[in-house]
Amino acid sequence: LNIYIAGAGSMGCRFGYQLTKANNTVTLLDEWEEHITAIQSKGLSITGDQEDNIDIPIMKPEEADQSADLIILFTKAMQLPSMLQNIEHIMNEDTKVLCLLNGLGHLEEIQKYVPRENILMGVTIWTAQIESPGKVKLSGQGGINLQSVEKTGETFGKDLINIFNEANLNAEYDQDVWPSIWRKVCVNGTMNSTCALMDANISEVFSSSHGYNLVEKLISEFVQVAAKENVHLDADEMYDYVVSASKKVGEHYPSMHQDLIQNKRLTEIDYINGAIVKIAQKYDVETPYCEMMTELIHLKEDILL
Ligand code: NAD
CA-to-CA dists, residue 78 to 70, 178, 188, 269, 270, angstroms: 21, 21, 16, 9, 8
Over 90: is that where the pLDDT of 10 sits?
A: yes
Name which of 9-13, 224-228, 241-245 the model is least confident about: 241-245
CA of 164 to the centre of ligand 1 (A): 20
ipTM of this complex prediction, to 2 decimal places: 0.99
The confidence band for 3, taking pLDDT boundaries of 50, 70 and 90, is: very high
Nearest to 20 by CA among 171, 170, 163, 173: 163
255 lines ligand 1 (CB under 6 A): yes
221 lines ligand 1 (CB under 6 A): no
CA–CA separation, 173 and 175 (whole Å): 7
* Known catalytic membership, residue 184: yes
Q: Which of 21, 76, 137, 184 is catalytic?
A: 184
CA-to-CA dists, residue 100 to 12, 199, 210, 214, 302, angstroms: 10, 27, 32, 28, 28
pLDDT of residue 227: 98
Cβ burial 229-257 (10 Å sphere, 16+ → b, else e):
eebebeeeebbeebeeebeeeeebbbbbb
Tens digits of residue pLDDT in 46-102: 999 999 999 999 999 999 999 999 999 999 999 999 999 999 999 999 999 999 999
pLDDT of residue 232: 97
CA of 22 to the centre of ligand 1 (A): 23
Over 90: is that where the pLDDT of 138 sits?
A: yes
Over 90: is that where the pLDDT of 246 sits?
A: no
Over 90: is that where the pLDDT of 247 sits?
A: no
10 lines ligand 1 (CB under 6 A): yes
pLDDT of residue 152: 97
Nearest CA to ligand 1 atom 34: 102
